């Protein structure tokens, strides 16, 4: 029998969190999608892994047996993947947006010149996964924007801080302002990330900086083109200052905003992920960021 390791990761998250809601938040997937995958795993194994009731989700006897064995199985598989990558001399670095990456491209180019036997793969992820591939084991390390759910289980170092501004439709009454007061935007429809992104979504809505004023969500987006399109159609969105340089649209303007905290950019990896080449690359990124 062949079972997709991703299904086992989903199962392990539900078993550890004790709920589909908590596991979905941790994995950056919707709860219906997670439920579907758990049922698929149960179908493939031919056993019920959880009992479901209004009070929550509990492991069956078969589920407890699998839960006891899966962590070691996944750890072994992850180490196998890392060992294979080391043997092939491949490093995988995830990122979300060009502004967060900053000088990383230059560091990678220097690393490739110094270590030509190694291949560095830069993989971009959309905003449905703020961990940039780390949560699902798709990369060895990632340049991320903080905060995001699950970062406490990762090894994270802050690289730099970037001010946030606001993207406005070009026809918006505040589009000609020098600096926009955040409180003047509280009643505007905002572009939001998916609800499964938790703290990431809240940060980019500045939910805690509204003095208790409710958020009005006008659109949900997972990629820059969707984000810009929603703003052009009448929504507004908080964005890092670098967005003005890397993302443009003829019907969208960027303006500084007063009254919101900055964006923090970090470098993250799983605590168990080690290797001399990876350490060398991550240290070089950290040094370059500190100089910048």
So what's the pLDDT on residue 102? 79
What value does the mean pLDDT take over residues 83-101? 82
Contact 188, 206 (CB under 8 A): no
The model's confidence at residue 195, banded by pLDDT at 50, 70 and 90, is confident
Average pLDDT over all residues of the chain: 88
pLDDT of 73 higher than 70: yes
Rounded to whole angstroms, the Cα distance separating 95 from 142 reads 6
Q: What is the dihedral of CA 59, 65, 66, 68, to 10 degrees?
A: 100
Per the structure block, which two tokens stand in for 117?
A: 């036997």
pTM across the whole model: 0.74
The model's confidence at residue 221, banded by pLDDT at 50, 70 and 90, is very high
Alpha helices in 139-214 (DSSP H): 199-204
So what's the pLDDT on residue 205? 96
C-alpha triplet 107, 109, 112: angle, nearest 5°: 110
So what's the pLDDT on residue 1? 62
Per the structure block, which two tokens stand in for 284?
A: 């070089």
Higher pLDDT: 79 or 156? It is 156
So what's the pLDDT on residue 85? 67
pLDDT 10s digits, 253-291: 999 999 999 999 999 998 776 688 889 999 999 988 876
One-character DSSP codes across 13-55 = HHHHHSSHHHHHHHHT--HHHHHHHHHHHHHHHTS--EEEETT
Of the candidates 137, 123, 131, 144, the one whose C-alpha atom is nearest the C-alpha of residue 12 is: 137
For residue 108, the number of C-alpha atoms closer than 13 Å in the C-beta half-sphere is: 16
The model's confidence at residue 144, banded by pLDDT at 50, 70 and 90, is very high
Rounded to whole angstroms, the Cα distance separating 33 from 36 reads 5
pLDDT of 197 higher than 90: no
pLDDT 10s digits, 1-57: 666 888 888 888 888 888 888 888 777 778 888 889 999 988 888 889 888 877 778
Domains of the chain in sequence order: 5-84 (1.10.10.10), 89-161+264-291 (3.40.190.10), 164-261 (3.40.190.290)
User: Dihedral of CA 275/150/256/173: which sign?
Assistant: positive
């Amino acid at each position: 029998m062949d079972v997709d390791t991703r299904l086992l990761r989903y199962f392990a998250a539900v078993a550890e969190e004790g709920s589909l809601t908590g596991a979905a938040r941790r994995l950056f997937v919707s709860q219906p999608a997670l439920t579907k995958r758990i049922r698929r795993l149960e179908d493939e194994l031919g056993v019920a892994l959880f009992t479901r009731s209004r009070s929550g989700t509990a492991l069956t006897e078969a589920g407890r047996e699998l839960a006891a064995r899966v962590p070691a199985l996944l750890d072994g598989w992850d180490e196998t993947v890392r060992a294979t990558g080391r043997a092939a001399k491949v490093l995988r670095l995830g990122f979300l947006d060009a502004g967060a990456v900053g000088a990383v491209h230059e560091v990678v180019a220097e690393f490739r010149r110094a270590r030509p036997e190694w291949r560095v793969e830069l993989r971009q992820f959309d905003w449905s996964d703020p961990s940039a591939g780390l949560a699902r084991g798709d990369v060895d390390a990632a340049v991320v924007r903080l905060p995001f759910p699950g970062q406490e289980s990762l090894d994270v170092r802050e690289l730099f801080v970037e001010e946030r501004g606001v993207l406005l439709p070009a026809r918006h009454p505040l589009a000609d302002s020098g600096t926009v007061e955040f409180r003047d935007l509280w009643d505007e429809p905002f572009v939001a990330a998916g609800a499964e992104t938790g703290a990431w979504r809240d940060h980019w809505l500045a939910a805690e900086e509204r003095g208790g004023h409710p958020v009005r969500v006008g659109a949900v987006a997972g990629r820059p083109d969707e984000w810009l399109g929603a703003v052009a159609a009448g929504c507004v969105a908080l964005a890092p200052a670098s967005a003005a340089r890397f993302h443009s649209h003829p019907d969208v303007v960027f303006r500084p905003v007063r009254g919101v905290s900055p964006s923090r950019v970090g470098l993250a990896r799983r605590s168990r992920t080690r290797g001399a080449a990876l350490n060398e690359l991550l240290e070089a990124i950290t040094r370059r960021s500190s100089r910048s």
